Structure 1
Amino acid sequence: MSFSLNFKGEQQISIEKGQSILKAALAAGIPHYHACGGRGQCTTCRVLVLKGEEKLTPPTSNEQAIKKVNKFPDNIRLACQTCVLEEGVEIQRLIRDEIDRFIFVDDYAADTVGEIGELRKLALFFIDVRSFTPFLEANLPFDVIHLMRRILGIFKNCIVQYKGEIIDTAGDGLYAVFGLDSTIREATESAVLAGFKILEDLKIYNNTYVRPYFNHTFEVGIGVHVGNVVVGNVGIGLSHNLTVMGYPVNIAARLQAATKELNNNFVISALAYRLLKNPPYSLDCGYLNLTGVSNAYEVKLIGQPYQSISASPTGKLLNGPPNPPLEQISRHSGDMIKGKN
């Protein structure tokens, strides 16, 4: 048994009983977009029901979940999840032209990860150059840009070597993620290995070039955390940027920012540390108070003290007996609370 289905402003098509609106539209040559492949995991095939809402099958569990999250009204349906039961249904596609496609998902990024936005558990990696401002003020613009390119090149090579993905750069630092194509344990291992490789390669670069020619030494601060984040592409035709957002990203960024006060160039959350198969030696551990974060975070210091930066006394970790009560020692954003070794 078949029915007629009217796509307002486009054409009237035939749809079989039990056939989804999406499949019928595609069979009729209507370029109905469906980024998730028609599995009810995105909203790009949604339609506005103009007539005959009661003549459609009820929302599936997948559609109900999506409609609840997006607060869709009853007359918005997912074409991939909806079938026609009777004659007299009229609908309108909501993503119909190239402008709409650029806003939601464009052809360039159709095969990339996170195209429509998805929840993933990733290792989050932040790194920033320390002691850069004095160098910037004392040297020519050409030298500043040249050395920064070399340093960012070191970062990039190490991150790519361990299958990380650079998400953003800002000034003399960057933000990367690991785990887009691996398990969270593998991702955390890779993030830590990439960090140690950067520290080693930067040391070589300092000794062979920066110190001899510029009488300067660059140091970095690295912060690593893990957590569930939203991965998606927010390009609108001007760029095709993969974006990773979420509360754990803020934690990772703050861990990196706290490295100077803690006088250690590599700080990792205890949550991430426990995922490591062969965890490196931890110089110390404790609980870190972070601005805007209600709960203190347990962290591990797995790097080395800075050579050219004096750490703030309030940022030092205090040793204590096993399982001591938490005792706040300061109110600074990167201050530590007593914790066990």
Structure 2
Amino acid sequence: MTCHVNFKGEKVVPVEEGQTLLQASLAAGIPHYHACGGKGQCTTCRVLVLEGEEQLTAPTIYERAIKNVKKFPDNVRLACQSFVKGESVVVHRLIRDETDRYIFIDSNEANTTTVMGERRKMALFFIDIRNFTPFIETNLPFDVIHIMRRIFALCRNAIARYDGEIIDTAGDGLYAVFGLNSKIRQAAESAVLAGLKILEDIKIFNNTYMRPYFNHTFEVGIGVHVGKVIVGNVGIGLSNNLTVMGYPVNIAARLQAATKELDNSFVISAIAYRLLKNPPYSVGCSYLNLKGVSNAYEVKLIGKPYEKKQAAAIQL
């Protein structure tokens, strides 16, 4: 039996028995976007059912799962999951204007997953350079930028060595992730190895370059956490546009900030620490009350106390 569906503002489309709305619209020449290939794994083919909702088959398990997350109203359906039982169905495609088409079709982004976004478990890594403000205040702009580039190069090389990806830099800190190409246990291991290498490389840099030429030394604070985050490409033309967002990212950033009050250069969540196959020695365990987190967060201290703080205490 052939039914007909009115794609409002576009055309009336014949739908053969066994065809989904998506298959029928594509067969009729409608450029109906379907990033996941019509498998119910995304929402880009969704339509608003204006009339005849009762003439469509019941939502599938894929639709119900997406509705639970997206909170779509009942009259929003995935075209790839909807079959037609009768006439008088009128729908409106929700992704159809030129801006949508650029983002989802005309973009040069080769990886569809990053355009759509996906949830995955990753290790989140934040690092901040300590003692940089005094250096800025007492040195020429050229020297400030030069040293910043040197330190960021140390960080970048260590992160890249362990298959990490720098997501963002801000002032004298940066944010990186591990796990784009590995499982979560390996990601956590890599984040820790990269952090330990940075600590060692900064120590060497201080001894061989900063002390002799600038009479100054730097220390860093590192925070690492793991969790399920959203990975995607926001497409605004900056760097590689990769964005990693979610609650675990905020936790990792706060762990890095807590290195000051804990007087330890490397703080890792106990959750991430337990994933490590060969965990480094922990000099202590602490419980942090983090802003926005109801329960105290258990962390491990795997770095060293700050020398500047120790020196100040000795002078007092």
Q: Give the structure-1-normalised TM-score.
A: 0.85
Q: Aligned in 2, Cα 1:184/1:105: closer, same or farther, shift over 3 Å?
A: farther
- Deviations 1:70-116, CA, capped at 9 Å, x for gaps: 23222221111111112332222111133024566762335154432
Query: Alpha-carbon deviation of 1:201?
Result: 1.9
* Amino acid in the other structure paired with 2:253: A
Task: Identify the residue that residue 332 of structure 1 maps to in structure 2.
Answer: none
Q: Is the 8 A contact 2:165 2:176 kept in 1?
A: yes
Q: Which stretch shows the higher mean deviation, 31-40 or 171-180? A: 31-40
SS at match of 2:292: coil
Task: Identify the residue that residue 301 of structure 2 maps to in structure 1.
Answer: 301
1:121 paired with 2:121, answer yes
Task: Identify the residue that residue 162 of structure 2 maps to in structure 1.
Answer: 162
Q: Aligned in 2, Cα 1:286/1:106: closer, same or farther, shift over 3 Å?
A: farther
- The separation in 1 between residues aligned to 2:27 and 2:312, in whole angstroms, is 67
Q: Aligned in 2, Cα 1:33/1:252: closer, same or farther, shift over 3 Å?
A: same
SS at match of 1:115: helix
1:287 paired with 2:295, answer no
SS at match of 1:108: coil
SS at match of 1:57: coil
* Amino acid in the other structure paired with 1:81: Q
Q: Give the structure-2-normalised TM-score.
A: 0.91
* Amino acid in the other structure paired with 2:257: A
Q: Is the 8 A contact 1:261 1:311 kept in 2?
A: no
Query: Alpha-carbon deviation of 1:42?
Result: 1.9
Map 1:1-341 → 2, pairs under 5 A? 1-102=1-102, 107-109=107-109, 111=111, 113-235=113-235, 241-310=241-310
Q: Which stretch shows the higher mean deviation, 3-12 or 15-24? A: 3-12
* Amino acid in the other structure paired with 1:167: I
- Deviations 1:263-322, CA, capped at 9 Å, x for gaps: 211111111111111111111222222233221122111112222234999xxxxxxxxx
Q: Aligned in 2, Cα 1:104/1:217: closer, same or farther, shift over 3 Å?
A: same
- The separation in 1 between residues aligned to 2:310 and 2:109, in whole angstroms, is 46
Query: Alpha-carbon deviation of 1:193?
Result: 0.6
Q: Is the 8 A contact 2:7 2:92 kept in 1?
A: yes
Q: Aligned in 2, Cα 1:36/1:156: closer, same or farther, shift over 3 Å?
A: same
- The separation in 1 between residues aligned to 2:113 and 2:205, in whole angstroms, is 34
Structure 2 unmatched runs, 5+: none
Q: Is the 8 A contact 1:51 1:91 kept in 2?
A: yes
Q: Aligned in 2, Cα 1:154/1:267: closer, same or farther, shift over 3 Å?
A: same
Q: Is the 8 A contact 1:13 1:28 kept in 2?
A: yes
Q: Which stretch shows the higher mean deviation, 132-141 or 202-211? A: 202-211
Q: Which stretch shows the higher mean deviation, 254-263 or 269-278? A: 254-263
- The separation in 2 between residues aligned to 1:270 and 1:75, in whole angstroms, is 44
- The separation in 1 between residues aligned to 2:106 and 2:147, in whole angstroms, is 36
- The separation in 2 between residues aligned to 1:116 and 1:11, in whole angstroms, is 27
Q: Is the 8 A contact 2:35 2:112 kept in 1?
A: no
- The separation in 2 between residues aligned to 1:106 and 1:240, in whole angstroms, is 17
* Amino acid in the other structure paired with 2:280: P
Q: Is the 8 A contact 1:105 1:115 kept in 2?
A: no
Q: Which stretch shows the higher mean deviation, 276-285 or 26-35? A: 26-35
Query: Alpha-carbon deviation of 1:168?
Result: 1.6
The structure with the greater share of residues assigned to helix is 2
* Amino acid in the other structure paired with 1:255: L
* Amino acid in the other structure paired with 2:93: R
Query: Alpha-carbon deviation of 1:223?
Result: 0.7
Q: Aligned in 2, Cα 1:52/1:112: closer, same or farther, shift over 3 Å?
A: closer
- The percent identity for this pair of structures is 73
SS at match of 1:309: helix
* Amino acid in the other structure paired with 1:206: N
Aligned length: 313
- The separation in 2 between residues aligned to 1:275 and 1:243, in whole angstroms, is 24
- Deviations 1:231-281, CA, capped at 9 Å, x for gaps: 233335677632222222222111111112222111111111111111111
- Deviations 1:4-28, CA, capped at 9 Å, x for gaps: 3322222233222121111222233
